[in-house]
Structure 1
Amino acid sequence: MADRLAVLGDAAIEVLAEHGMRGLTHRAVDTAAALPAGSTSYYARTREALLELALTRMAELDEGELPQVQDTASVAKLTAAFLHASITTGRTRTLARYEFALEATRRPVLREIYDRIGATYRTQLKASMAALGSPEPDRHARLVMAWCEGVMFDSLAGTGAATPPTLAELELSTAELLRTLLG
């Protein structure tokens, strides 16, 4: 069953990224997953359950992607690698994440799940900032997270989409940001 849920979750993420929230239907997920009609609705009876399935799958796929604290240079390098992957090989998942962010503003149940998942990242980032010597780890974690979100959005949907940053540019920018915050 877990394998089938992963297949359906992956297909739902693809559908979201390609067709947006309005294109996410049980039938579209069945088609994207190359499964018989009705397969998705067997596991996720309602639209809300389908959204939860996809969001939960995104959280599973993202698990462990935040860098472990070592020093500022290695955190900058790992964060840049995460950002670069998010706008290249992980583009589909990032686009789906933005669809969820917007939908969560209208659906309290999704907001709860989205915020719970986001809190995990924020907590890890706060701990990293504290370990790196930040005098204000809460504020600095919020700033770094907002900067990362901005870079990803600009690179995928904003005016920077035509020329997204290279890995080297992201490494340099991330290191500069961390140096500025941490002194």
Structure 2
Amino acid sequence: MVPAEPTRTTQLADAAIAVLAEHGMRGLTHRAVDRTAGLPIGSTSYYARTRAALLELTMDRMVELDFASAGAEPSELAVPDIHAFGELVAGLLHSMLTTGRVRMLARYEFALEGTRRPELRAVYDRAGTRLREPTVRMLRAAGAPDPQRQARTLVAFCEGILFDSIAGVNRENPPELAELLAGIRELLHGMLHAD
């Protein structure tokens, strides 16, 4: 089956992610997105009239790509057992460290700017909630005694690995899938089998 052609908004959002990752928040302009997408000047403005609309379009696309990496929409994410859960999480981390690296750099730019601009923080937090809710649900299904708190711990662990491997001291030596899986399994085992 031939993959569907990307929509114009998808094309623009992907270009905005690339611009954010390469040039930071200050470099993200409608014209820069037009150039990166290879489209006529004014194309981005047609679909996202304001900078806020462009940022929201970009964050929505990042979340969409995250769920595409998982192979399911948030409501459909489910795992039959804790081993499958560990494999899902490790696979997502590995994907974000490899094919999703640019997206993660863009996300960091977005997160930092959100600390200074409340309207961005709201967009970022909404996206974060969409990503965290399935984690709580899957931990609950796996028998976690405090899934809300434990989801926070699991997400923080994952975010630490990602930051260390993309922007931190281990950016030249990111973990392989097997190492990620071992770490996730250790963490999940501790959460679910603690006395």
User: Which range, TM-score by smaller chain?
Assistant: over 0.9
In 2, the alpha carbon distance for the partners of 1:55 and 1:150 equals 20
2:11 to 7, 10, 13: 7
Pair 1:72-2:86 in alignment: no
SS at 2:7 equivalent: helix
Q: Mind listing any 5+ residue stretches in structure 2 that lack a counterpart?
A: 1-5
In 1, the alpha carbon distance for the partners of 2:88 and 2:79 equals 10
In 2, the alpha carbon distance for the partners of 1:175 and 1:103 equals 33
Aligned to 1:90: 100
Percent identity between the aligned chains?
56
1:101-131 Cα distance to aligned partner (Å, 9 max, x none): 1122222222222111211222111111111
In 2, the alpha carbon distance for the partners of 1:168 and 1:59 equals 25
Select between 133-142 and 37-46 the one with higher mean Cα deviation: 37-46
Give structure 1 regions of 4+ aligned residues with deviation exceeding 3 angstroms: none
In 1, the alpha carbon distance for the partners of 2:87 and 2:170 equals 21
Pair 1:18-2:52 in alignment: no
Q: Mind listing any 5+ residue stretches in structure 1 that lack a counterpart?
A: none
In 1, the alpha carbon distance for the partners of 2:11 and 2:183 equals 36
8 Å Cα contact 2:59-2:127 kept in structure 1 = no
Residue identity in the other structure for 2:167: A
TM-score (norm 1): 0.94
Question: Once superposed, what is the RMSD of the aligned Cα atoms?
Answer: 1.5
Aligned to 2:44: 40
TM-score (norm 2): 0.88
In 2, the alpha carbon distance for the partners of 1:63 and 1:80 equals 14
SS at 2:116 equivalent: coil
Residue identity in the other structure for 1:153: F
Q: Cα offset for 1:61? A: 2.0
Residue identity in the other structure for 2:13: G
1:29 to 8, 33, 37: 33
8 Å Cα contact 2:63-2:131 kept in structure 1 = no
In 2, the alpha carbon distance for the partners of 1:108 and 1:18 equals 23
Q: Cα offset for 1:97? A: 1.1
Aligned residue pairs: how many?
A: 182
1:159 to 146, 169, 173: 169
2:148 to 113, 126, 138: 138
Aligned to 2:56: 52
In 2, the alpha carbon distance for the partners of 1:122 and 1:105 equals 19
Residue identity in the other structure for 1:98: Y
Pair 1:150-2:160 in alignment: yes
